[in-house]
Amino acid sequence: MTVPFSLTPLLQYIEQQHEPICAYYYDLDYLAQRARWISENLPQRVHFYYAIKANSDAPVLTTLAPDVHGFEVASLGEIHRVRQASPGTPIAFGGPGKTQVELQGAIEADVELYHIESELQLVRLNALAAKSGKVVKVLLRVNPRFDLPDATLKMAGKPTQFGIDQDRICDVLDSLPGYSHLRCVGFHFHALSNNLDARSHLLLVQSYVEVARSWQRAYGLDIKVLNIGGGIGINYTPGGAQFDWPYYCQELERYLDSRDFDFSLAMECGRFVTATMGCYVTEVTDIKVNHGENFAILRGGTHHFRLPSSWQHNHPFQVIPVEQWSWPCPRPGVSQQKITLCGELCTPKDVLAKQVKVDQLRVGDLVLFDMAGAYGWHISHHDFLSHPHPHRIYYHDNQLRLTDEVGH
């Protein structure tokens, strides 16, 4: 990649503010370059979908559209977001709880591909497609029975609400001729989230392929695509090794060239695409000592940035010193001490980093949480206590665009 993530526009924004600062900042030029880097490394036989649950803002979708095959969505609301931001981009519709209303809306929106999570979803979609006079393409999502590599989250390989148990797939395949308005074009596996090891991920893909080929041979299936899911992670540990994308793509291409099958692969990543293009910056509004421990209160918290609390980790951050102090009292602060970074909510669970050592942190300084472009704002409980929303700042082509409204 040649375009570095730039904080300069954010620092310029900060200098112009007169109220306590709280903002997300997204570098869209960096994101566009990252998307090209991701797609250019992939083998041609692999279609890349962006999973918009990670960050579904319209400027993000518009930036990514030229360099992805499609968008993966998990609700009718996300379908509408894609159609508004990039009307012609293909959509793959996932999610375990597709309702009749959502399936009907998806048909009306000409969704390209449906990830089927249960036999009831087959029945519903077939009936609605028949009523609409359409034949729609589906993938059967499988909850596999084989071993999976370690990852932060596992959605399959164990009892969960996701997919169809691998032991039930043969029964579902037997029933497919009864669905005249569905065309099963393959399978979908998405078993884990935030895997950081490229080698184990390659072995996982190989397991997916071999299982799919066994069903293809047994049933004479005309498989067009095998969706291998996402699950490629970001290392939030400071200085930690990141997923080796060039190695993964090189070895995946070598594997595909060595195997004789004619279907393409698809993958659907979210965090891996957008995490590093954004940060969350917020002002320290108070510092106190309780029971011998230091606490910094921030103008923000988990209602804006829920990821650290959700994953129970100390999110990486940096301190931006602010020298101005105008209050008629000594400035509270700590030096070379441990401190817990807390939000402004009325709950002790509003913590973004616990007992982390800082060189210096004072009231009025800013804390910038790195790698906050994915699963930050978009998984947070925005209106708990009705605090103001943070600004969301988009940098593109030497211009800043600001909003504090959801979905703009």
> Given this model, what pLDDT does residue 146 score?
65
Q: How far apart are CA 130 and CA 167, in angstroms?
A: 29
pLDDT digits (tens, 9 = 90+) for 237-261: 988 999 999 999 999 999 999 988 8
Distance, CA of 119 to CA of 174 (rounded, Å): 12
Tokens for 403, please give them. 């909003």
Residue 407 has pLDDT above 50, yes or no: no
- Whether the full predicted model's pTM is greater than 0.85, yes or no, is yes
- Domain range annotation of the chain: 14-20+276-403, 90-269
pLDDT per residue as tens digits for the range 311-331: 899 999 999 999 999 999 999
CB contact at 8 A, 279 and 370: yes
Of 3.40.640.10, 3.20.20.10, 3.40.50.720, 3.90.1150.10, which CATH number belongs to 90-269?
3.20.20.10
What are the percentages of helix, strand and coil residues in the chain, rounded to 5?
A: 35, 30, 40
Mutual orientation of helices 76-85 and 100-108 as an angle, nearest 10°?
A: 20
Question: Residue 45's CB: how many other CB atoms inside 10 A?
Answer: 15
Has 269 been annotated as catalytic? no
More confident residue, 391 or 159: 391
How far the first Cα of the chain sits from its last, in Å, is: 28
Q: Residue 156: its pLDDT value, please?
A: 44
Catalytic option among 269, 329, 342, 346: 346
Phi, psi of 396 (to 5 degrees): -150, 130
Is residue 3 scored above 80 in pLDDT?
A: no
Report the pLDDT averaged over residues 349-365.
97
Closest to 376 (Cα-Cα) out of 300, 285, 299: 300
3 state SS for 167-231: HHHHHHHHHHHHCCCEEEEEEECCCEECECCHHHHHHHHHHHHHHHHHHHHHHCCCCCEEECCCC
Q: Do residues 279 and 369 make contact, with C-beta atoms less than 8 angstroms apart? A: yes
Helix (H, G, I), strand (E, B) or coil at 329: coil
* β-bridge partners, 284: 298
- pLDDT averaged over every residue in the chain: 92
Tens of pLDDT, residues 175-231: 999 999 999 999 999 877 789 999 999 999 999 999 999 999 999 999 999 999 999
Whether 304 shows a pLDDT value over 70: the answer reads: yes
Cβ neighbour number for residue 307 with a 10 Å cutoff: 24
pLDDT in tens, 102-111: 999 999 999 9
Instruction: Name the CATH superfamily, with its identifier, for domain 14-20+276-403.
Output: Lyase, Ornithine Decarboxylase; Chain A, domain 1 (2.40.37.10)
